[in-house]
Amino acid sequence: MTTVCLVGTSDCDLRYELLSRETARDALATYSLDRPFENSLAVETISLGAAVSFVNDLAWYLVRFVETTLVREPSISESEWLSRDLAAAIRDGEVTPAESERYLKVYGVERPDAPPADGEAESTADDGPQTTAALPRLVEPMFVARTGPQLPEYDLRDVGETLVVRVTEAEFGG
């Protein structure tokens, strides 16, 4: 299964914004919604093509409420994600999976240390209560070019783990 993860901008509640609009709600209705990171929404699709079509269907909302769109296709990498543009380029045959390994955007992943305080639990209609304070948060991306098997160490802040996103050459340079 291919996973699509939408990470919201800091000035909105992504889940609320998408589910409060009929067209977006209809596009999401057939999926089981997950929340892997703070202010994010993830769904599983059947293929890379379906994932790209899904994000294309939500394009109007992505421009307004989404900071980054991530796609994870296990046949390309079990651990690394693809940017929306790179996923579309691979789907369209413009880039091969092997050619997609060079340019990377590496996020730090901050995990909360303490359990949430009272009143921080958020109730959602489709998947029960979730605590937003307990979710990991993606922080400060760092762009790196892969030159060998080892990636440079993430050094923008002290984090326990990172999330690697493959990007297009244009995204890397822009």
pLDDT tens for residues 85-101?
999 999 999 999 999 99
Q: Does residue 174 register a pLDDT over 80?
A: no
For 124-162, the pLDDT digits (tens) are 445 444 455 589 999 999 999 988 888 888 889 999 999
For 57-94, the pLDDT digits (tens) are 999 999 999 999 999 999 999 999 999 999 999 999 99
For 38-54, the pLDDT digits (tens) are 999 999 999 999 999 99
Give pLDDT, residue 48. 97
Letter for the amino acid at 87? Answer: A
Cβ–Cβ < 8 Å for 1, 8: no
Q: Does residue 5 register a pLDDT over 70?
A: yes
* Domain map (residue ranges) of the chain: 2-173
